A and B are shown apart, each in its own frame.
Chain A
């Protein structure tokens, strides 16, 4: 059993939890993920590690409430326990040997981009962060990005905060302004990563993206997380989750990601009804 030490809503749809998991905390690195179950008969879901404290023995997760399981997770409180918390899984992000990197985060993807930005910064790399949200109310982790970045471009779709526009607009401007990046790291919705990669391809800048596909075991067993990279089938759980964004078939990944959309919507409604009844 894994204790929820702290729970903090970051915005109306995104929650941060600090989980007591000393063995995972001891090995965790930026870019890796965990798999959890929120209840004994629950679904296994993968979440990327948003931070860790080796001394305290805790791991941070940040999740968006999208389906039944994330809703169930969000109904738990400080002091409650998760039955399962497995990790750290996947390969860590490469964060060494860079001089200047642009980190692009979109929505809740910023939670995953942050530890990568922090690790790069800690290794002496100049980090330019481009973070995008739908609107002001959904902005998360602004202070944290400011603390580890030489430059932060805050973007919102509707212009209620920062600059109105997409992350690709800001990244394009940074590149045009003469910034020479060793690498771009983009983490967010698949559609955002696709367009970032289209842009950086034009400039021939190596771009790494982090996939968060449907997954069950997280150890290479189910094959549910497979995606096509450079024409080959890869498993996000053991070959990734980071991949060369210029080789990923994003359209296929988007379709696969929507495989259970109806089921999720249904489960979410079901869970809402359950909460209403209890209330």
Chain B
């Protein structure tokens, strides 16, 4: 085995210059070089009890793949990852490794943990660029399964079932597969060519992906069973955007983050000549502090905004976004207005001309300052309004990124499918079985908005449970 690298720090991730990248949609983090990857892989101590694996929702054998990488067997490393993950190039880019695998890394006790995510990305990218063998369809076991939603949960479930020999059809409502990977996460964080390639691999394994199919409308779950499917997995996500319920939310220039990001990522509104319109705001406020808020803010900046604010009611310490995303946003010039909460969106109004096209456009946001009180149910300190702190933020575009709820289309058209008061589908335990026999669910449709990797973990567990269910019939 090659010599260990005992550096306390991770090999830094090369990335584009902030002042260049905040005007373009090219991928920000450019990825490790071969030498960087081997060096970083040699920081791994190959702990026998593998604490990192316990925090991976899809249970990748991390020390094993890193050992292969350290020995420059990159294809071997890919095979290890590929056993457990259908979307390695995606996870290596968007997983919150700092709270998962890397949080348990022994190297992290006295220094920085091994850059597991960066290594996963390197291995997946290397495989994509160098591998000559195409994935092939395994021998059929003669059983059919339908999957609703081609996002991270559905694609993972599809990949695992296809590997076991199931004939899998994935139904997707939009015109392309990928779910949030396609419509939500921007090109500069996750190039769409990578998503397409990973979807292509699933197709090569025999998975059918039917786009333009809104299940619950064009076909019901009962009809999917009539068509010969023996089980159904629901991975329809948490697409329904929340609004704050403050005055002015429907003015011209107020977007949900979903709409803003979908126009940009799915419909390519950022490209010259795009047929889908988007507003190029000069002063943009994004309300919320999660990864979606960071994505929206960084997109707004790239569309040419002079000032982009993240408006968040708690402090920098409570931001739910990944630390790396917050850092990237700051580097790109996003202004953080924390401990601030909007109370009203203000409209332009020309009193002399009711037909002035600017009437009804956003021209400001009335905000209050907040301070932090005692911790609330979520364990975070509750924000309280500071008396008399009202002020107006001068903006022309507002983007609401305060969360989403599960899509109602499936639960409202499937008799006997239980959902809780938040609209989340109720499942029994880890394997995703719903209140209907043979119907499984996972990802944001069950948990409410969460992460790509948790959805993938749920898809994986459900695939195993579906296999067991069909075999025991």
Contacts and interface: CB of A to CB of B under 8 A. Distances in A.
Interface of A: 23-24, 27, 37, 39, 41-44, 68-69, 72, 83-89, 216-224, 226-228, 233, 235, 238, 249, 252, 255-256, 258-261, 263-264, 267
A13 to B, nearest CB: 20
Interface stretch (B44-52, B246-254, B307-315, B319-327): B246-254
B275 A221 contact: no
A63 B219 CA distance: 26
B258 interface: yes
A85 B217 CA distance: 13
Contact of B173 (A219, A224, A256): A219
B217 to A, nearest CB: 6
Nearest to A27: B218
Contacts of A216: 259, 262-263, 266-267, 276
A253 B183 CA distance: 26
Contact of B275 (A69, A217, A249): A69
B258 A44 contact: no
B250 A41 contact: no
Given A24-B218, A223-B258, 15 more contacts: A23-B219, A27-B218, A42-B275, A69-B275, A84-B175, A84-B211, A85-B212, A86-B175, A86-B212, A89-B217, A217-B174, A221-B241, A226-B250, A238-B409, A256-B250
18 contacts: A43-B267, A44-B267, A87-B214, A89-B214, A216-B266, A216-B276, A217-B173, A217-B174, A220-B239, A222-B256, A222-B259, A223-B243, A223-B255, A223-B259, A233-B249, A233-B250, A255-B360, A259-B252
A227 B217 contact: no
Nearest to B212: A86
Contacts, number: 115
Nearest to B252: A259
B357 interface: yes
Contacts of B255: 223-224
Nearest to B236: A219
A217 B357 contact: no
Interface in B338-363: 357, 359-360
A87 B360 contact: no
Interface residues of B, number: 41
Interface string B258-291: 1100110011100000111101000000000000
Given A222-B258, A258-B252, A267-B275, A233 B217 contact: no
B470 interface: no
B407 interface: yes
A228 B360 CA distance: 14
Most chain B CB inside 10 Å of its own CB: which residue of A84, A221, A258: A221
Closest 6 CB pairs of A and B: A255-B360, A223-B256, A221-B239, A222-B259, A263-B277, A223-B241
A26 to B, nearest CB: 8
Most chain A CB inside 10 Å of its own CB: which residue of B175, B211, B240, B243: B175
A220 B214 CA distance: 11
Contacts of A264: 277
B327 to A, nearest CB: 29
